[in-house]
Structure formats: C-alpha cells, structure tokens
Amino acid sequence: MGRLLILLLVAAGCALPASVAARTAEATIQRVETAVAQLHGVRVQLHWPQGAEAGELRLQAERVESPTLGYVFRDLDWRCPLRRPGTGAWGCDGPLRAGNGSPVALAVALDASVVSAGLRQGAATLALHRDATSPDLVRIDLTRVPLAWATALIQQAAPTLQPGRGTLDGRVDVHVATAAPLRIGAALHGRGLAFDSDDGAFAGEGIDLAVDVDYRQPGAAHALALRGTLRGANLLLGAAYLELPSAPIALTVDAVREQPDAGWRFTHLRWDDGAALRAEGAVALGADASLRAMDLRLHSDDASLLPPRYLSGWLGVAGLPGLTLAGTVDAHVRMVDGALAGIDAGLRGVDIADGRGRFAFAGLDGDLRISEGAPVDSALSWRGGRLQAVEFGPATLPFRSVAGRLDLRGDVAVEMLDGQLRFSDLSLLLPARGQGMRIESGLAVEALRLDELASAFGWPAFAGTLSGEIPRMRYADQRLDFDGGLAMHVFDGEVRFGSLALERPFGVAPSLSADIELEDLDLTMLTGVFDIGQIDGRLHGRFDGLRLVDWQLAAFDGELHTERRRGVRQRISQRAVQDISSVGDASFAGSLQAQLIGLFDDFRYRRIGISCRLRNEVCEMGGLRSAGNTFTIVEGSGLPRLDVVGHNRNVDWPTLVERVAAAVGGDVAPVVE
C-alpha cells in the first residue's frame, strides 16, 4: 500500500479536457510526464451519454514510476463517474486498482487553478491539494494512514528497512520544482509503529513518534533534519536493545548521505531522556549500516535506569544479564574507522552488582581516561566489593594512558580473606586493526585464609592458606590465560595449580582448564574435615587436563595415591573402608576379610591408589593394579590383611558424584559382609 501515495501525485499532474466533443472518446498515450512521476502505456476512455449529467471515465496505465520517491507499480486501472459541477471544474470518484491489489477509493477534483484529491481505504485517508498559484508545492494531509503506505519513500533513505504496523497522522509538503532538488517537509505523528530490516539487525515496535522532518535530495545526495519526541518504543539496533519509557524523549537528528551506496553521517545527534540518559554528538555509519565513527558525550544522573532501558542487549551478549547500576555516570566515547579510539569516563558514587551474584563493586569514584594520542593520567577507586561470596576491601587504581593503551602507574593491593591480591604492570589495549580488547597484568596472591574461603562458600571447614604468583595473565578473545601458578598450603602439604586458563568468564558456558598437583597431604587431617572415616598417611596425586564447563566437571585424568613417610603410620578405619568401597563400587578381596572387618576398628595398609579418566560423563577407573574389569584400591599389610578391589572400571560420572557426596556427608553406613 505504500506506493499508493504516488497515485495522488499522478492525479495532481494530470488534466482532463475542458469539454467533450463526442459521446465516446479514446486516447492512447505512450508516455506522460508529471512533476513527480512518469506514466507508460496510458489508455483513456470517456463515455458520456447525450444529455447525461455525468460520464464514465476509465484511465489505465501499464506502468507508473517515480524515481525521486521510489514508487513503481503496474497495471493501474481507475474507473469513476465524471461530473462537471461548475464552469471549468471537473470531479471523479471511483475505485482504483493497481495490479491484483485490493481496490481503494480515489476522488479527484480539478478546475483551472486547483487540483485536489482524496484516497480512502477504511479509516485511512490521504488528501492532496495543489494550487496553480504555487505549482511546485503538493500538500498531503494524512489521517490514520498505515505506515506501510510509505514503504517506498522510507526505503529511499533506508533501503533495508521494512515498515510494518502503525498509523500516521499529519501533513506532508512535497516541493517538486523541476529546476530544484526534491524537498519533503512533514509534521507527523505516528502511533504503534513497527519496522524491521532485511538482515534482522534493526527492528522496532510500539513506537509513538511526533516529529518534524525536512528531507532533501540534491542530485545523488540525501539530507535529513528531524526534530521530535519519542515515547514507549522497543528498539533493536544491532547488539543494542532499548526499552524506552512512556515519558517523552526529545530527539534531534541532522544527517547526510553523499551517494546512494554510501552510509549515513549523522552530523548532529541529541537525545534527552531526563535523568536516565542525555547524549549529544556525531555518528557515521558504513554502507552496511555498521558503526564506523563516533564522537558522543553521555551523561546519566541515575545510572539505575540504564540497564533496563539501554544496556540489556549488550549485557546479555557480554554474559552479564541482570546487572544493576546506581550513581552518576559521564562518558565521552570516540571511535575512528570502526575501532574504539578513546574514552573519558567519570563515575560518582557508582555501585555495580552482577545479576547472578558473581561480583559487585561499591562506591566507584574517579575518572578513567583512555587517550588516542598524548599521555593522560586518571585514577579510579572503590570502597569495597564482592567476588562470588568473598568480600574484598577498598583500592585506588592510578592510570596513565597513551595511544589507546591504559597502564597502571604502580602496583595495587586489594585486601581479601586476611591476605592480599596484588596487581602489577596492568595494561589494557583498546580494540584495533581487527583485534579485540586485550588486558595483561601480573598477579600475586599472598596468604589468603582458606578457612574463611570455605566458610564463605559453605564448604567443610579446613585451615590453610592460598599463595602464589602469576607473572602474567592475559585476556584476549574472551579467554584468560595465566603464566605460572598458584599453591595452596593446606593439610600440612601443598596443592599446586598450573596451566590455568578461563574462557568466556562472563559469557555463555564459561570454561576453566587447569592441571592440579597434590603433594604430601596429611590424610588424618583431610579425612577428618571431609568426614569419610579416618585414614592415616600421606597423600599425593594429580589431575591433568582438568576442564570445567559452566562450572561443572567435564573432563580430567586424575589419580590419588599414598606414599610412605618415616614416622607416619598407615592405618585405615572400618568406616573409611566402607566409604571407599561405596565410592569405588568395590568389595573386600575374600570371604575371610568380610567376616573379620566387623571385629576391628582399623587396619594397617601398604598402599592406597585410585584413578579416574573422565570423558563424556563416564569415569574409567583404575587403582594400584588392574586385571580385566577389576582394580585394587587398598592393598593391606599385616594381619588381619585387608584388600579392597573395585569390580566396575567404567562408572557413570553423575552416579559417582552422588556416591562421593553421600560418603562425605556421612550417609553411608558401615556394612559387614
């Protein structure tokens, strides 16, 4: 229906003869040109019975096109009773069809100086007026006109947009002087408007827009000036999703496009959403509507309004849905050649909290400046925060930036778990030349108390400290890699972490990989904490290629074993034997052992060893020795001698986890066979 607008303009440019010399007249015209359109293959038939007050007019055209407005349609057919209400005046009102489309009512009135026309379909009306005293001006009044009627005109400015639901009211002035460029001025009010784009990158619905428009087309160029207010719209603009309030938002746009195949340059943009967001600046788009350049200043008096109104799309892509903000924010963002060039941000009393409770910052204050040229200093501080369930203390980060790079001017220590995290040589490099943002830093972990960590996460209580140094950690392409490793001093031994890497830390299905080594842990202390019966001895082991996906174990190749140590006894309690047997799907080696186990509280052992290779939720288990589908977990020593043997080497991983949880929780009661 959008192309029907041109029919009014066609009517405005056509004239009928002032008198009729015969009852029936026919004319075939190869081409008719008006100020705004061309008609091809025109046939006109007029039949006027002698003595009648009205004749019958039929106008047909094979093709009608308006290159300036973008409308093209075929097989035009208009029939109407032609009347002559006064000297020099004519009027005709009847159904109009274009191709196989539904008919609309077209009424045209012509006299020596004025052309007026009306197009009606249901409640929608387009009324056109053209006066001989100003022949270069066509005025169109719109009443409840469907947005889809303006499709071709809209696509002159934005070829990929597809107008949808909604209606327009207002006035459009089309200036069609032959020697001057096309100019369209409009004062319109759109209600319930909707649109989308061919590639799905842009869409909108529920739009209430009151706007004054000045559109010009000098040659191949386009120029647009827009002033208006926007209410209650839901907009998708690439990765950005905007859910706007019902209160009016003031909008100013000045834009140009030099060539039809070029992108739009928004030379002046202004957006005023009150306390939520005020923005002003300039933006340039590529021919594919990609963001190529930007110089934009932003201010928010109430940052709590930003995530629901403006940031939900970006936060979802970044893996931060539900993130909340509070405080005051200023920013000046610059982009050149599609790459971020510089940022000046000011934060005043800003609080940030992750929607999934993974982190929080309280009382962010200061400035963060990233310079595209000369060096510039800034500093940012916070009062405190939280990482998962672990709280951390205040800190101040002094920065220096030059040529798109941001560096710490000194080491920064953050108090946590009665110890410290110390960051050194931190640097951030903005995206450039096809590469994403990159961050590097050194990290030292100094004596974090594990008992407080366990308490924060609700783990079984155990003492010890976590220390270590990572000479360099690097973040790029949603992956965080660590050089060096960390060591936990726990259970009178050490647990070391190496080959650490974290993918998509805040994205979908984050993935952690590491190698873990256990050295000389006191089994008496460890089994006491985890309540799996008492085992005396020293434990060693490793977990190579450990991988967690969405924080669930997905793969590893691990083994645990005991090693003799002078002065340390090696004994295992009846309860521990039962728990190991339940976890390892094991039994005692012989019937005599089954009869004797109930008579003793604990037993001497020579060695304990168990292994698991986890792949595709199946644990391939092993022990000290393997034979067929069996494997030895505990090798006894002395009398009574106790061996524990597993009988199923392939165990479903979720089942094994349930067994371990039951054993650690003390839900496995001793059973004597």
Least Cα distance to 2 among 208, 164, 177 occurs for: 164
Q: How far apart are CA 296 and CA 591, in angstroms?
A: 81
Which residues does residue 502 pair with via DSSP β-bridges, in sequence order? Answer: 480, 512
Which pLDDT does position 441 carry in this prediction? 92
Return the minimum-mean-pLDDT range out of 2-6, 115-119, 525-529.
2-6
Report how far Cα 343 is from the mean position of its chain's Cα atoms: 21
Q: What is the mean pLDDT of residues 641-657?
A: 84
The domain ranges of the chain are 1-129, 521-673
Tell me the CA end-to-end span of the chain in Å, nearest whole number.
85
Q: How far apart are CA 502 and CA 546, in angstroms?
A: 12
Tokens 């009928």 correspond to: 16
Is the backbone of residue 76 left (phi > 0), alpha (psi -120 to 50) or beta?
Answer: beta
Q: Are 282 and 292 in contact (CB under 8 A)?
A: no
Q: Between the CA of residue 156 and those of 67, 71, 310, what are the distances in Å?
A: 10, 9, 28
Q: How far apart are CA 148 and CA 1, in angstroms?
A: 6
Q: Are 239 and 260 in contact (CB under 8 A)?
A: no
Residue 134 has pLDDT above 50, yes or no: yes
Q: Between the CA of residue 51 and those of 48, 56, 110, what are the distances in Å?
A: 8, 13, 22
Q: Are 451 and 459 in contact (CB under 8 A)?
A: no
Is the backbone of residue 581 left (phi > 0), alpha (psi -120 to 50) or beta?
Answer: alpha
Q: Are 277 and 296 in contact (CB under 8 A)?
A: no
- Return the structure tokens found at 177: 């002087």
For residue range 370-392, list pLDDT tens digits in order.
988 889 999 999 999 999 889 99
As a dihedral over the C-alpha atoms of residue 362, residue 365, residue 371, residue 376, rounded to 10 degrees, the angle is -130
Whole-model pTM? 0.74
Q: At residue 539, what are phi and psi to the nearest 5 degrees?
A: -110, 140
Which pLDDT does position 37 carry in this prediction? 72
Least Cα distance to 227 among 272, 260, 197 occurs for: 272
Residue 4 has pLDDT above 60, yes or no: no
Q: How far apart are CA 142 and CA 95, in angstroms?
A: 19
For residue range 288-341, list pLDDT tens digits in order.
778 889 999 999 999 999 999 999 988 887 778 899 999 999 999 998 887 888
Sign, CA torsion 106/109/114/120:
negative
* Pairing verdict, β 485-490 and 464-476: antiparallel
Q: Tell me if residue 276 falls in helix, strand or coil.
A: coil
